[in-house]
Amino acid sequence: MSMTDAAFEGANRRAAAKKASFPAVVSVHYDSRIARVVIALASGLELAFSPKHAQGLENALPADLVEIEITPSGLGIHFPRLDADLYLPALLEGFLGSKHWMASEMGKVGGAATTEAKASAARQNGKLGGRPKGSKNAIAA
């Protein structure tokens, strides 16, 4: 697939607009004392987040986080030892991963929740015999 000059110029205009609307990353490091990635922005704002809550970093060891690079646009950070990237505009909007990954993380939290209503429903289901046993002839989906 070849890119036309018009498409190339359009992409450059969109990139310039995005870069103008978000402050660039000026420094980034992993602070092992607080177990957080710390990003300093050109606006003076500093962001810190736990790698455990970011897609691609969730299983990282502190040694994997020692080396962090700022992308040439200044709108992203790259973790070479993990081959993982995070995009600053998405971070500022509260997204630490793709929509699918974020949904799965929220599902884990919701599934782990314990409430009286959930416990009551489990007791009621237990009185009915619990989950049905799988059929020997059932085909795995």
Q: What's the mean pLDDT in 70-86? A: 94
User: Each residue of 103-117: pLDDT tens digit?
Assistant: 665 565 556 557 787
In this prediction, residues 19-29 reach a mean pLDDT of 86
Q: 109 vs 46, which has greater pLDDT?
A: 46
Q: Is residue 71 a contact partner of residue 61, using CB atoms and an 8 Å limit?
A: no
Residue 100 confidence (pLDDT): 60
* Sign of CA pseudo-dihedral 29, 30, 31, 35: positive
Contact 98, 90 (CB under 8 A): no
Q: Name the CA radius of gyration of the chain, rounded.
A: 22
Q: Three-class SS of residue 1?
A: coil
Q: What is the pTM of this model?
A: 0.60
Give the CA distances from residue 100 to residues 36, 79, 105, in Å, rounded to whole numbers and listed in that order.
23, 21, 9
Comparing 122 with 27, which gets the higher pLDDT?
27
Residue 121 CA: distances (Å) to CA of 69, 109, 127, 134 = 49, 19, 10, 21
Which of 20-24, 43-47, 53-57 has the least mean pLDDT?
20-24
* pLDDT, position 22: 79
Q: Using CA atoms, how far apart are residues 28 and 25, in angstroms rounded to an integer?
A: 7
Residues 6+ away with beta carbon under 8 Å from 66? 30, 81
Question: Over 60: is that where the pLDDT of 69 sits?
Answer: yes
Residue 34 reports pLDDT greater than 90? yes
Q: Please provide the CATH number assigned to the domain covering 5-96.
A: 3.30.2020.40
Q: What is the mean pLDDT of the chain?
A: 81
- The domain ranges of the chain are 5-96
